Amino acid sequence: MTTKLLTALLLGTSILGSAGVAYADDVTLNIESWRGDDLAIWKDKLIPAFEAKNPGIKVVFAPSAPTEYDAALGAKLAAGSAGDLITCRPFDKSLELFKKGNLADISTLPGMENFSDVAKAAWQTDDGKASFCVPMASVIHGFIYNKDAFDKLGIKVPTTNEEFYAALDKIKADGTYIPMAMGTKDLWEAATMGYQNIGPNYWKGEEGRLALIKGEQKLTDPDWVEPYKELAKWKPYLGDGFEAQTYPDSQNLFTLGRAAIYPAGSWEIGLFNTQAQFKMGAFPPPVQKAGDTCYISDHTDIGMGLNAASKNADAAKTFLSWVASPDFATIYANALPGFFSLNNTPVKMEDPLAQEFVSWRGKCKSTIRSTYQILSRGTPNLENETWVESANVINGTDTPEAAAKKLQDGLDSWYKPAK
């Protein structure tokens, strides 16, 4: 079976690899990415804009499926057939590639000065000395709601937990809509749209996240168990058979107008705008008591780096500098509403829903997902276990305390925080 998989991967790479041979005169850059959804935007907007300014450089965007990206990229890099430009996952996945020498050091690349340290943190060595990817975008978590449904039922946008559950109860009592569109089949919905979405309000964003890394807090502390207790309360508000409801099912439930609230990441905006026939709004994760500081997950999600083995390194650097420019940020943020630029230059966005999401940056404190930096380096993998346990908590398989204990035990087995 291993051989079968490997053969498939190798075959795949040989086809993709030969795609670049077509133009012999110009330099052709291949971009590796997991964002197949963005193919049209790259082809119609970004690449033409770049090629117009840089004659002689051709760019090909060659995405693979998100779940296969990391494995496929690893195999291609090992075989030497990977593209010149590599779309970077945040933190350890890319750091690993950098340490292996697959990604080039681009700390001195013109354009890197356009980004804050926080933005660059996801693609730096632990000591912050070397950067290896240009930050492209972050995604913000929150809840997208069906405005028509809220108006019809006379529900105000909830800001506190109490209002949030009152709204859910009201929707459930009315019965027209499923209160919340979320399933646990794909596991990550429960963790990413659930735990990481509402969690920062409880562990106080960066404060809790960094304390966890330093070992001053534990996942079994009340601040970290509390979000699980909230998740457990969501169960009655989910649709029938949510245990077998997949991520696309949830998206469809909401865009077909059958569900009122969708625990979301801002990346949904583009798709929802084209599919939903009703007005949408968004609200940040509700706080515990009125007047509490709000925290949002503003997760650095996507960057782009240079394949150290690239034969067209100069052309690739030109491209990366352009990716770091405000020009790129403006096109990208508007073509992909919901992927927010990390560039220091503010980007003007047209989409109202995207504007709503990005406005929370002003009034709430930003943090990134708690499991991404350092804590998912060992076995068992904290992020993957968080997926499983978050789904277990919602399914009722594990109590919040039991789930937190399992996660902390797993983490303790390999992670020794620096004292």
User: Where do contacts with another protein occur on this chain (CB under 8 A)?
Assistant: 1-3, 5-6, 67, 70-71, 74, 91-93, 96, 99-100, 183-188, 239-246, 249, 252-253, 371-372, 376-377, 379-384, 387-388, 391-392, 395, 397, 410, 413-414
Q: How far is Cα 348 from Cα 15, in angstroms, rounded to an integer?
A: 39
| DSSP label at residue 193 | I
Helices (H), ranges, 161-235: 161-174, 188, 196-198, 200-203, 206-214, 222-234
What minimum distance in Å lies between the beta carbon of 113 and another protein? Answer: 29
Q: Which is nearer to another protein, 358 or 388 (CB)?
A: 388
What minimum distance in Å lies between the beta carbon of 245 and another protein? Answer: 6
Q: Which is nearer to another protein, 116 or 413 (CB)?
A: 413
What minimum distance in Å lies between the beta carbon of 130 and another protein? Answer: 16
| DSSP label at residue 371 | T
Q: Which is nearer to another protein, 216 or 412 (CB)?
A: 412
Q: Are 51 and 57 in contact (CB under 8 A)?
A: yes
What minimum distance in Å lies between the beta carbon of 244 and another protein? Answer: 3
What minimum distance in Å lies between the beta carbon of 387 and another protein? Answer: 6
What minimum distance in Å lies between the beta carbon of 222 and another protein? Answer: 24
What minimum distance in Å lies between the beta carbon of 391 and another protein? Answer: 6
Q: How far is Cα 133 from Cα 106, in angstroms, rounded to an integer?
A: 7
In DSSP notation, 266-328 reads GGGHHHHHHH--S-EEEEPPPBSSTTPPPEEEEEEEEEEEEBTT-TTHHHHHHHHHHHTSHHH
If phi > 0 it is left, if psi is from -120 to 50 it is alpha, else beta; for residue 110 that is beta
Q: Which is nearer to another protein, 288 or 379 (CB)?
A: 379
Q: Which is nearer to another protein, 9 or 280 (CB)?
A: 9
What are the tokens at 124?
């730096």
In DSSP notation, 233-275 reads HHGGGBPTTGGG--HHHHHHHHHTT-EEEEEEEGGGHHHHHHH
Q: Which is nearer to another protein, 146 or 250 (CB)?
A: 250
Q: Which is nearer to another protein, 226 or 385 (CB)?
A: 385
